[in-house]
Amino acid sequence: MRPPSHLALPFFEAHHRDLAHELGVWAAEHVEEEPEDETEACRSLVRAMGEVGWLTLCVPSPAGRFEQLDVRSLCLARETLGYRSALADFAFAMQGLGAGPISLFGNEEQREAYLPAVARGEKVAAFALSEAEAGSDVAALATTATPDGEGFVLNGEKTWISNAGIADFYVVFARTGEGSRGLSAFIVDAGTPGLDDTASIPLIAPHPLGTLTFTDCRVPRSALIGEPGHGMRIALSTLDVFRTTVGAAALGFALRALDETLRHVRCRELFGGTLADLPVVQSKLAVMATEIDASAGLVYRAAWTKDAGAERVTKEAAMAKAYATEAAQRVIDAAVQLFGGHGVTTGSVVERLYRDIRPLRIYEGATEIQHLVIARQLLNEAESN
């Protein structure tokens, strides 16, 4: 992996550049690009990253707070891992996302019980928010958590849950009251009676994904994160950090597509020269590179803004996520086109990237939802002025 040009931007300090280099070297040596068994590979990746300390980038010590993490480092890690393997990026990101609510809002006992093991790669984490009728519209969530004695009883179904079936615990969002202020968050350990996490969902870009079914699933009151009714705030505060990093993962995919394309067009002979000699190909390369640099600017602007002390980066993160994922789709599509038949051949790098990029335009808020978020923020700013 050649050092991306945006590492020279003033958003970064020396330790960020060192991180990108060191993680890139480690990933090239230890990460398989497309393993046959993604479930076992995901577990192995979590263990491997935990053993060498990479997961401390996304999971703080119990004494720390998730909101104090270096978001630029999170983004660089996802960009670097995404360049090598979408599954490696996924494994890293889900440890952070699953641990985020506990770090942000958990009490001391909860943080001690889960965060060190997640950082060491000994526990696999999962974030269970989505439902069949409550994806983008979190307020429509229907899973219930009914107070009962010294705890709560959960009933309902979650779907499209990453790490379902391999997670050691799930942060589950359930309804304890009415409306958006009636949601609460709970830690539910895998194996808890009444929790079925065995239903898997196959994907075009394989990674562990499935459905969780809760049938009179009883959890103690100590499983509640924060206060009852704070679930929406917990979910959105966690996503506010990780939404920017999705854009960084897409940036990594796009950089890989461009590098593969540059190698291909310089070697592919056509009409007495190479593809790279054709003006139409040079034009495509120019657009691809420009899309990548524009994405990097938005991603690392959002990350730097958060690191500089902004309480929320809702608009900036939405811009970064929406633009970078859509731009990466365009860059990768151009790569497939320039590869011709090889680009749609199963097993080629750009074919894999074409499958890998598509989910990023949907998860953690589809592009259309990000546009709504941006517009509402703009309108609110205009009204306050």
The catalytic site residues sit at 364
Tokens 């990548």 map to which residue?
A: 292
Quote the tokens at residue 198.
Answer: 């065995």
Reduced to 3 states (helix: H, G, I; strand: E, B; else coil), residue 212 is: strand
What are the C-alpha distances in Å from 32 to residues 29, 89, 119, 349?
Answer: 8, 12, 21, 13
The CA-based diameter of the chain, rounded to the nearest angstrom, is 80
Q: What is the DSSP letter of 278?
A: S
Please list the residues that pair with 157 across neighbouring strands.
Answer: 213
Quote the tokens at residue 306.
Answer: 């958060």
Gap between the Cα atoms of 22 and 151, Å rounded:
46
Please list the residues that pair with 182 across neighbouring strands.
Answer: none
Gap between the Cα atoms of 37 and 291, Å rounded:
33
Quote the tokens at residue 226.
Answer: 């924060």
Residue 198's contacts (CB-CB under 8 Å, 6 or more residues apart) are: 165, 210
274's enclosing H/E stretch is strand 273-274
Query: Pairing mode, if any, of strands 125-128 and 144-148?
Result: unpaired
